[in-house]
Amino acid sequence: MLDIKKLRDNFDDVQTSLKKRGYKIDKSLFFSLEDSRKELQINVEKLQAERKKLSSEFGKLKASGEDTSDLKNTIDQLNVDLESKDSDLQELLTKQNNLMLDMPNIPDTTVPEGTNEDDNKVLSEHGKIISTNNLDHLEITNKIDTEIASKLAGSRFAVLKGDMVKLQRSLINFMIDCAIENGYEEYYLPYMANENSLIGTGQLPKFEEDLFKASEKLYLIPTAEVPLTNLFRNEFINEKDLPIKVTSHTPCFRSEAGSYGKDTRGLIRQHQFEKIELVQITHPNESMKCLENLLNNACEILDKLCLPYRIIELCTGDLGFSSSKTFDIEVWMPSQNKYREISSCSNFTDFQARRANIKYKSQDGNNFVHTINGSGLAVGRCLIALIENNYDGKDSIKIPDCLIDYFGSSTINVNWKINFI
């Protein structure tokens, strides 16, 4: 959530910044609500002051044994008026809060301007593209089956078997170990989150259609960012404890409502997928440095896996709703002959902290923290990249050196002639 004081004092500057990402605030609505809020707040405060004064007089009259009936009637009517005005004020504050919840974060001044992903900036490329393979992961191995998954749950799901399950588990354990080595504390978390948690990280109320609702009060998590960040909701953190680095492996659940017809084959875009999340709770003065640290932590995994990748800086028009600055990591997919996103590392500044009320204590008082997060990494896409880049074109997939101890072998034989089941 944006700082409403900044909007009141510097509306045109905020409006200009948000226009760079394609968002325009309804100025007349904002100031209409502001004017009404001020008027109602003044009225409520006047009535409260009057009630306090009359209550004091009532006490004195009663103590002296004088008649208090007329004054009591006056106070009773004042309470009715106060309750009515306060109800109007609370209703207006809810409308104002809903307007604020709809506004995206302000792009950092260093973010390149642009309208969509075509305007994103390639910062660097890493590793050599040596694979000449043009088969996709489903053609290389029959241990990933989307047809059987569709029988169980419908489209955009997959069933893995045997060595593919083992390889996925090896990747998960390897990624978690990398995070721990880099100073992150591992958490096991609920796979569901309540409304307040999803409001805190920015998925609600604007993006409810992207979520799976499990019950009246709970949603399946779209990313472990939600529970990890909300561990600190409504908390005060000691300044000396910053930054706090936390990680978790969870399944993630997304409706992919806006992706009809896109990436329908294989593991690229699923309703359910595995991901390791990296989250840092930081001091505002250190958040860009922490973003760079988190980005390096994610890249380190691909370096160790010897997978080719590149780093992209997102333009203003392609930033996520809550993000102020984002770097995407894209891994090389030989079958598609292009790079595909495998991690998105973002600095949300104080946007999520204001929504979730996460503050740190310092000598200057209590201030909002900054939140950073990114994938370390998306396991399914990493599995695809490993299969396609390391397939020898005949009958085996090479296991990277860093995974051999986890997997227990240096290769996977893919020359299977038996049916999946």
* pLDDT, tens digit, 9 for 90 and up, residues 214-266: 998 999 999 999 999 999 999 999 999 999 999 999 999 999 866 666 688 89
Which residue, among 142, 170, 202, 173, has the nearest Cα to 322 in the 3D structure? Answer: 202
AA identity, residue 139: E
Q: Identify the pLDDT of residue 415.
A: 62
How far apart (Å, rounded) are the C-alpha atoms in residues 124 and 143? Answer: 34
Ranges of residues in the chain with a pLDDT under 50 are: 417-421
Q: Identify the pLDDT of residue 421.
A: 43
Which residue, among 385, 397, 356, has the nearest Cα to 373 in the 3D structure? Answer: 356
Q: Identify the pLDDT of residue 97.
A: 96
How far apart (Å, rounded) are the C-alpha atoms in residues 154 and 159? Answer: 12
* Contact indicator for 345, 374 with CB cutoff of 8 Å: yes
Rounded alpha-carbon distances, angstroms, from residue 70 to 48, 50, 51, 59, 76: 19, 15, 14, 13, 10
Residue 153 neighbours by CB under 8 Å, 6+ apart: 271
Pairs from 253-261 (Cβ < 8 Å, separation ≥ 24): 253/191, 253/211, 253/212, 253/220, 253/221, 253/222, 254/210, 254/211, 254/212, 254/222, 255/209, 255/210, 255/211, 255/212, 256/156, 256/210, 257/209, 257/210, 258/210
* Contact indicator for 395, 413 with CB cutoff of 8 Å: yes
Domains, the chain, in order of start with CATH, read 26-102 (1.10.287.40), 117-413 (3.30.930.10)
Q: Identify the pLDDT of residue 417.
A: 43
pTM (global) more than 0.95: no
Q: 253 pairs with which residues across the strands? A: 272
Residue 273 neighbours by CB under 8 Å, 6+ apart: 251, 252, 267, 378, 379, 380
How far apart (Å, rounded) are the C-alpha atoms in residues 233 and 352? Answer: 10
What is the end-to-end Cα distance of the chain in Å, rounded?
50
Rounded alpha-carbon distances, angstroms, from residue 93 to 36, 88, 96, 338: 10, 9, 5, 48
Percent of the chain's residues with pLDDT above 70: 97
Residue 67 neighbours by CB under 8 Å, 6+ apart: 61
Q: Identify the pLDDT of residue 260.
A: 67
370, two tokens: 């900054």
Q: Identify the pLDDT of residue 174.
A: 98
How far apart (Å, rounded) are the C-alpha atoms in residues 397 and 305? Answer: 13
How far apart (Å, rounded) are the C-alpha atoms in residues 301 and 192? Answer: 28
* Contact indicator for 204, 198 with CB cutoff of 8 Å: yes
Q: Identify the pLDDT of residue 261.
A: 67
* Contact indicator for 237, 358 with CB cutoff of 8 Å: yes
Q: 81 pairs with which residues across the strands? A: none
Q: Identify the pLDDT of residue 256.
A: 82
